[in-house]
Amino acid sequence: MAPTLPSGDQASDQDNWDNGRLAHKRQLLTEIVLRNRLTALVVDGDTTCRVLEQLLLRSYGVQTQGVDNGRDAVALIASGVKFNLIIIDMILPVLNGLEATRQIRDMGVHCKMLGVTACSGESERQAFLAAGVDVFIEKPLDPEHLVPILRELDGQ
Amino acid sequence: MDLAALKTQLKNFVQSMFEEGVLDNQFSQIQALQDSTNPNFVEEVITLFCNDAERIINEINRNLGYQNVDFSNLDSYVHQLKGSSSSIGANRLKLACANLRQASDERNKEG
């Protein structure tokens, strides 16, 4: 299958080769993920960030749900919905990310939690990890950080 | 101007933004997410971002206009803009936010 470039322009041979390899890699990873049907919850108050993170996950075949505040995230988990992965921002409306993370962990939920935030300080990192996230990632969430985690989840 | 020429112009314009550091690799990731199931994704997400960013920038300007600037209120807006600009690959805007936060930390209204 010939790869399609977003702009639809005439591609150079090198572009075609690079895009072909990239598309092939993504295809492999998507097949793995679809086989395991991973699910993820994205918690971010900013629409741009939430939409982008959800779409990134979906491009790897992860089924996602998004909420825009901490209280709704906690309520959703409390209702019994299970996720393999939770992506959560630190600063959230209604209930902040630190407190939401603590409450989710207190419920006995052990799934992988990624704290993805624009905060970059060491104290913020320590606080988020202490609240219960497994990994602290400074925004933006990119494939470099996400793919190894998806592979790990797939292997379980 | 015909479609092909317009497309070339757009491609060159985007390329120059990469070269000037206005856009970074994160934007390339977003371009890579556009495919036949999401044909207008890049345009949609840029529109989404610009609408949010405009609102936030207006709030930042409003806050800076006060005699006594509420720096912690300002900080939360700048933080939000930093998050969304870094997610979309708006590199220079992200850096500007970081600078503004630092100046704001120093309570430096002039900065």
Which has the higher per-residue pLDDT, A149 or A2? A149
Q: Name the token pair of B51.
A: 């609408």
Report how far residue B111's alpha carbon sits from residue B109's, in angstroms, rounded to the nearest whole number: 5
Q: What is the ipTM of this complex?
A: 0.84
pLDDT given for residue A18 in this prediction: 62
- Radius of gyration for chain B, computed over Cα atoms and rounded to the nearest angstrom: 17
Q: Are B45 and A48 in contact (CB under 8 A)?
A: yes
Residue A2 has pLDDT above 50, yes or no: no
How far is the C-alpha of A133 from the C-alpha of A136, rounded, in Å?
Answer: 7
CB-based contact (8 Å) between B64 and chain A? Answer: no
User: Closest Cα to residue A61, out of A25, A110, A18?
Assistant: A25
Task: Express each pLDDT in A61-107 by its tens digit.
Answer: 899 999 999 999 999 999 999 999 999 999 999 999 999 999 999 99
Per-residue pLDDT for A26 more than 80? no
CATH 3.30.565.10 for domain B1-104, yes or no, is no
Cβ <8 Å between B76 and A91: yes
Q: Is pLDDT larger for residue A116 or for residue A16?
A: A116
Q: What residue numbers bound the domain in which A129 lies?
A: 38-154
**Is A140–B86 a contact, with Cβ atoms under 8 angstroms apart?**
yes
* Secondary structure string (H, E, C) spanning A3-68: CCCCCCCCCCHHHHHHHHHHHHHHHHHHHHHHHHCCEEEEECCCHHHHHHHHHHHHHCCCEEEEEC
Q: Within a domain: residue A86?
A: yes
User: Which domain CATH number covers A150?
Assistant: 3.40.50.2300
Confidence of residue A30 (pLDDT cuts 50, 70, 90): confident
Pairing between strand A112-117 and A85-88?
Answer: parallel
> B86 CA to chain A: closest CA distance, Å?
6
Give the mutation candidate from B36, B54, B78, B87 for the A interface (greatest A CB count, under 10 A): B87
Q: How far apart are CA A70 and CA A131, in angstroms?
A: 14
A115 vs A41: CA distance, rounded Å: 12
Residues of A in contact with B84 (CB under 8 A): 46, 48-49
Residue A28 located in a structural domain: no
Cβ within 8 Å, pair A53-B87: yes
B32 contacts A55? CB cut-off 8 A: no
Contacting residues of A for B89, CB less than 8 Å apart:
140
Within a domain: A66: yes
For tokens 């969430």, the residue is A141
Alpha carbons B56 and A48: distance in angstroms, whole number: 13
Put residue A6 in one of left, alpha, beta given phi > 0 → left and psi -120 to 50 → alpha.
Answer: alpha
Hey, of A1, A12, A47, A48, which one would you mutate to test binding to chain B, going by the most B CBs within 10 A of its CB?
Answer: A48
- pLDDT at residue A118, rounded to an integer: 92
Residue A43, pLDDT score: 98
Between B68 and A18, the higher pLDDT residue: B68
Instruction: Give the distance from residue A48's alpha carbon to the nearest chain B alpha carbon, in angstroms.
Output: 6
Q: Please give, rounded to a whole number of angstroms, the shortest distance from the CA of B104 to a CA of chain A.
A: 15
Q: What is the pLDDT of residues B3-49, one digit of tens each?
A: 999 999 999 999 999 999 999 999 998 888 888 777 888 999 999 99
What mean pLDDT is reported for chain A? 86
Q: How far apart are CA A99 and CA A105, in angstroms?
A: 10
DSSP letter, residue B69: -
- Count of domains in chain A? 1
Q: Does position A19 have pLDDT exceeding 70, yes or no? A: no
Please indicate if any CB of chain A lies within 8 Å of the CB of B40.
no
User: Which residue stretches of B1-111 are H helix?
Assistant: 3-19, 25-33, 41-64, 71-88, 91-105
The residues spanned by each domain of chain B are 1-104
